[in-house]
Chain A
């Protein structure tokens, strides 16, 4: 079955440093979503990427979708303490039409930011 791998598993940074997490899928994805989960909270949607090579920005966050639609990354510039949490990618494979709702999550990258 489809597998989505994320690296690194943990990342500790000083406030102001940059942060990147990478997501790789064993199969070609139709689209990919990113979520953030604060400690003790539930996943909250950040963005969806659909097109090959797509790049989207949200303030200090930059999301990329690979040309082959098998990998993606999230980059945070100048981290702040409010960025603390676990970042998940979730891939969707349109295999057979009916499974378009099935998001396969990576194991997440836990980000801690030291002030």
Chain B
């Protein structure tokens, strides 16, 4: 596809369960970002990948959150022992980043996570 693809679009889970959210970036985009957006707020940075490695994971709220990008393309955000406060829309974005210049971010439609 032409855009950033995120699955699932909606996920309802129970407190304490494990959740995986998947992001398929635009082909050729080396940079991939995860953001979290709560209602009425701006996107909150979680983690940024350049290729396969996490260049900056300073936004991950605690060790229940983990993200991988093993082949430098698709990424998975993993949340263990979910809590009600984890409920939000999780946005993935990708960009062409060249010579340390952050390019335009292309966002996916997001995965809406609801923890009951």
Contact = CB atoms under 8 A, between A and B. Distances in A.
B104 A45 contact: yes
Contact of A103 (B41, B45, B101): B45
A101 B104 contact: no
Contacts of B33: 101, 103
- Taking residues whose C-beta sits less than 8 angstroms from the other chain, chain B's interface range is 20 to 34
B100 A103 contact: no
A31 B107 CA distance: 19
Interface of A: 4, 6, 31, 33, 35, 41-45, 48, 88, 90, 92, 94, 97-108
Contacts, number: 71
Given A42-B109, A94-B100, A101 B50 contact: yes
Interface of B: 31, 33, 35, 40-45, 48, 50, 55-56, 58-59, 91, 95, 97, 100-110
B105 A106 contact: no
Contact of A31 (B48, B102, B106): B102
A88 B107 contact: no
Given A44-B107, A106-B42, A108-B42, A101 B102 contact: yes
